[in-house]
Amino acid sequence: MKLQLSKSNFVKSLSFVQNIVESKATIPILANVLLEAKQGRLNISATDMDITIFDKIKINNIEVEGSTSVPAHTLYNVIKELPDDNPIDLSYDQNSKKLHLTSSKSKFVFSCLSTDEFPISSTETFKISFNLEADILKEIIDKTYFASSNEETRYYLNGLYIHTTSLNNKNYLRVVATDGHRLAQYQINSPSSIAKNNFGVIVPKKLIFELRKLIDDVKENVKIDLSERKIRFSFNETIIVSKLIDGKFPDYEKVIPKNASNTFSINRKKFLESINRISTISSEKSKAIKLNLNKNKITISANNVEEGGSGAEEINIKYNGPSLDIGFNSGYLKEIINQFTLEEITILFSDATAPTIIKDSSKSESLYVLMPMRV
């Protein structure tokens, strides 16, 4: 393999693929990135056995086609420190199993592993395909990812549940995440290509985290393909494939109150600012705050038993329901409120122990459920 390419293209592509490479991979080849020069392109790929990323760079000057695998993080760290305006020459010596890199007066040599050791993705039949605008996909992730769980024992909650559903004779694509304390739901009109499909898959949060970074600057559509075991996202010259979580997502609709008897709307900014102030005095461990509801008034308060401190603040609202106290984890509540951008949010509940719905006063795409806590 012998070729020349620019730093800007190479470092961008490497930054994509090296993110999934474990810094302390138990299998040596998994610490490497695979480079394949052929047919006017440099194909770059990496895998952790669950997620695989492929990227392509168009190359005008491939002198000798070939392939090798190089330590991913080392190669990336070298490339990003090279001068921007000098071309990079790569040459692989088959006999010594070394990759030689030259740029201006800089020279580096990398020890390589055989490409035969690099894991090859199994052939998949992707039966379901649809496109989403990149901006919509970003919003879906931003509005739901935070509520997914890190708890390994309930591994089926360690991702986003993406499924089709029907409501009032309309088809929707819905994304749900929950950790058992809070639930985030976002839905859009179902893309026409899957309007008649019925599916539900759990997509690992590690994939979602990497995908969100990869599509940050993408403006066009992202193609999504599904098989029984894997999901594939394709955009520009990049493809990312991941195993799905093999498990059953809980019947989350059971925890969403259908007939919440009490409701009030509140200015989002005032509410968030008040919670920020009052939560500073709450216990670091529980982060508990209490909402006391009375006619046309809400009092936000917190007590710190460990330090003997307390705080309270009132906000005027329109509320004619019963007087009651509801406790929440202030961190969870603030995270949910931060998902909204409009002036008002609406909060619906039945009593102090039932799940509470928080939603935008005028938009229906997103909905959040927060479990109360004892205070």
Q: Go through the chain and tell me how many residues it has.
A: 375
Q: How far apart are CA 244 and CA 135, in angstroms?
A: 23
- DSSP class per residue in 231-270: EEEEETTEEEEEEPP-S----GGGGS-SS--EEEEEEHHH
Per-residue confidence (pLDDT) for residue 22, from 0 to 100: 86
pLDDT at 126: 95
Residue 363 has a pLDDT of 66
* pLDDT, tens digit, 9 for 90 and up, residues 267-288: 999 999 999 999 999 987 889 9
Sorted by where each starts, the structural domains of the chain and their CATH numbers stand as: 2-117 (3.10.150.10), 128-253 (3.10.150.10), 256-370 (3.10.150.10)
- As a whole number of angstroms, the distance between CA 285 and CA 281 comes to 11
Q: Which two tokens stand for residue 178?
A: 């929950």
Report whether pLDDT(331) > 80: yes
> What is the DSSP code (8-state) at residue 156?
G
Taking only the tens place, the pLDDT of each residue in 148-203 is 999 999 999 999 999 999 988 899 999 999 999 999 999 999 999 998 889 999 99
- Enter the pTM of the model: 0.93
* Separation between Cα atoms, residue 31 and residue 75, nearest integer Å: 11
**Rounded to the nearest 5°, which phi and psi values hold at 309?**
-100, 165
pLDDT digits 0-9 by tens, 92-123: 999 999 999 999 999 999 999 999 999 977 67
Average model confidence (pLDDT) across the chain: 94
Q: Per DSSP, what are the bridge partners of residue 34?
A: 45, 69
pLDDT in tens, 75-100: 999 999 999 989 999 999 999 999 99
pLDDT given for residue 61 in this prediction:
84
Task: Indicate whether 139 pLDDT > 80.
Answer: yes
